[in-house]
């Protein structure tokens, strides 16, 4: 950090250190800005704020690049599995066969939920959204595993990591079962993949998991495994910065993910497509309507806070969508509407000039529909995929010597001092 940036203020001029990331991202170190000048930075939404350095994921939104620990997302989907990618995201390298087997055995110890959590699920109204149950279940792990709640204890952190990963699959699956009034069923084969076990727990052990369908579900989990400092990951990090335990921090991530502007976006896409279908609106007409600000119409699944190019995950999911539709013989009219919307939008300078391209949510909901997964389960499945990333960032933050409790500053714009007399 030998280079400096010069900041000229009315009262003084100071120099701020500059540094560069391994992929060329440039940063200005403002850690001492307020201390030296009395100023803070104003950055709504933290779009220009980097709270920490990380080694987990590289994202280049301008060029449509996404890599986990250096590996391109398309290569991981083609050549790896969600289990191996989870290890990669957590520990930095792809696992050996011995490491995979050892970790699988460790995770398996927590693959059955404490009976109390299932009883807790059963106390909720049947129509309770699965994300509510998932948040409750993760928080409850702190009660059932109090000896895994010290973020400063390395052995506890390792065991809590295995516990969270082992518990997440049944927490997600049984949240669906509770919502649908189905019995809680664990898979007969304890060595089945996460993708296969998920479908078995959701639909019962008699459900035949087609290999191509299993691969599609595996890809969807891989695609969601991490995505830099997004809203839910930042929530996990912020809560974790207070030295809250892993389970409490993960529950915060679930709650952040539930928002329609984050993990709930693919549900919003399906709801948009259903509305277009029910109104029998021509997709090109709908795209024209979107450009009219007072129309109330929005093109969900297009554009991204970071990507200013085609989301690389969307490219993979689009291929996946065609594959699963063909395999299952599904003729979903929503797919045709989505394809027509994409074609119309990408041919319109209004969208391309604003760099609004399909994102990961545009096609993922259609894939889930083809697998007979209801819309209320879209976000819990997102959470299942994102779990390794959340844990990796929580662990990385806790081992960072520069880690401090998150505490943003404000610019007060309220009433000045006044008296009640």
Backbone angles phi, psi at 154, to 5 degrees: -60, -45
Q: Which of 215, 304, 311, 393 is catalytic?
A: 304
Cβ-Cβ contacts under 8 Å for 77 (sequence gap 6 or more): 219, 222, 223, 316
Backbone angles phi, psi at 72, to 5 degrees: -65, 140
Q: How far apart are CA 345 and CA 276, in angstroms?
A: 15
Rounded to a whole number, what is the largest CA-CA distance in the chain? Answer: 77
Q: Is 262 a catalytic residue?
A: no
Q: Which among 380, 421, 369 is positioned nearest to 136, based on CA atoms?
A: 380
Q: Is 304 a catalytic residue?
A: yes
Sequential DSSP letters for 122-169: HHS-TT--HHHHHHHHHHHHHHH-GGG--TT-HHHHHHHHHHHHHHHH
Q: Which of 215, 219, 226, 361 is catalytic?
A: 361
Q: Kindly provide the residue ranges of all beta strands, DSSP E only, lying in 50-129, ordered along the sequence.
A: 57-60, 65-68, 71-72
Contact 253, 397 (CB under 8 A): no
Cβ-Cβ contacts under 8 Å for 306 (sequence gap 6 or more): 59, 61, 228
Sequential DSSP letters for 219-285: HHHHHTS--SS-HHHHHHHHHHTTT--HHHHHHHHHHHHTSTTTTTHHHHHHHHHHHHHHHT--HHH
Contact 103, 162 (CB under 8 A): yes
- CA torsion, points 29, 30, 33, 39, in degrees to nearest 10? 150
Q: How far apart are CA 139 and CA 191, in angstroms?
A: 27
Q: How far apart are CA 175 and CA 289, in angstroms?
A: 38
Contact 197, 165 (CB under 8 A): no
Query: 3-class DSSP state for residue 302?
Result: strand
Q: What is the DSSP secondary structure assignment for residue 192, as one 8-state letter? A: S
| Residues labelled as active-site residues | 304, 361
């Amino acid at each position: 950090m030998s280079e400096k940036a010069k900041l000229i203020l009315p009262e003084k001029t100071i120099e701020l250190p500059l540094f560069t990331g391994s992929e060329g991202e440039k940063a200005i170190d403002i850690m001492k800005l307020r201390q030296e000048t009395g100023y803070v930075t104003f950055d709504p939404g933290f779009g220009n704020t980097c709270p920490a350095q990380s080694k987990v994921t590289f994202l280049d939104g301008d060029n449509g690049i996404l890599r986990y620990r250096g590996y391109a997302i398309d290569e991981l989907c083609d050549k790896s599995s969600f289990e191996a990618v989870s290890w990669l995201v957590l520990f930095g390298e792809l696992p050996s066969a011995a490491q995979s087997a050892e970790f699988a055995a460790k995770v398996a110890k927590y693959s059955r939920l404490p009976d109390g959590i299932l009883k807790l699920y059963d106390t909720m109204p049947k129509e309770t959204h699965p994300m509510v149950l998932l948040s409750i279940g993760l928080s409850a792990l702190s009660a059932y595993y109090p000896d895994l709640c010290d973020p400063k204890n390395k052995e506890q952190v390792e065991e809590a990591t295995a516990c969270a990963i082992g518990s997440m699959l049944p927490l997600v699956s049984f949240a669906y079962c509770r919502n649908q009034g189905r019995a809680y069923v664990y898979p007969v084969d304890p060595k089945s993949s996460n993708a296969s076990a998920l479908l078995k727990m959701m639909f019962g052990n008699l459900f035949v998991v087609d290999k191509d369908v299993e691969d599609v579900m595996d890809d969807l989990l891989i695609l969601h495994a991490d995505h830099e400092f997004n809203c839910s990951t930042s929530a996990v990090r912020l809560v974790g910065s207070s030295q809250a335990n892993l389970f409490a921090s993960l529950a915060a991530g679930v709650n952040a993910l539930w928002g329609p502007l984050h993990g709930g976006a693919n549900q919003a896409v399906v709801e948009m497509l259903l509305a277009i279908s029910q109104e029998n609106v021509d997709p090109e007409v709908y795209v024209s309507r979107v450009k009219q600000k007072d129309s109330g119409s929005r093109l969900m699944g297009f554009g991204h806070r970071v990507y200013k190019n085609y989301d690389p995950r969307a490219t993979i999911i689009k291929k996946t969508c065609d594959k699963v539709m063909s395999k299952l013989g599904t003729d979903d009219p929503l797919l045709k509407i989505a394809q027509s919307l994409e074609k119309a939008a990408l041919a319109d300078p209004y969208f391309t000039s604003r760099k609004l391209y399909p994102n990961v949510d545009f096609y993922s909901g259609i894939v889930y529909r083809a697998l007979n997964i209801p819309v209320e389960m879209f976000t819990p499945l997102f959470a299942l995929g994102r779990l390794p990333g959340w844990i990796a960032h929580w662990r990385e933050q806790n081992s960072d010597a520069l880690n401090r409790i998150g505490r943003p500053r404000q610019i007060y714009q309220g009433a000045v001092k006044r008296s009640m007399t």
